[in-house]
Structure 1
Amino acid sequence: MTVRDHVSHPEAAEELPMITERAEVVLAEPMDRDRSDEIAEEVRQTLRNVDE
């Protein structure tokens, strides 16, 4: 049985292609409310549209 070497999250992230080499965060705020249900519904709708 072959066992892969463990790759940490930072190491794995380094292997991903970058969209941009430089970026600047200008504002980061906590969410004003839990949007989990809205996100889940949007994902479901998007997946339904893919099947069409």
Structure 2
Amino acid sequence: MDTKIQEEIDTLKKELVLLRMYKVTKQKNENHKIKRIQHKISQIYQFNSKNKSLLND
């Protein structure tokens, strides 16, 4: 993967861990962000996968 893409995924995953920790400890009520971040990570993986398959063809 491209380094910029990997860095973006890493930052999103770190944020996701923090949000999950907040949810468990009931510090912040930002549960909607968890789903959005998961969706964004999924989109990045799908986009990267499609680009790889197009380059290989």
Q: Which TM-score band applies after superposition, normalised by the shorter structure?
A: 0.3 to 0.5
Q: Determine which structure has greater relative contact order: mean sequence separation of CA pairs < 8 Å that are 6+ residues apart, divided by chain length.
A: 2
Q: Which entry has the higher C-alpha Rg, 1 or 2?
A: 1
* TM-score, normalised relative to structure 2: 0.34
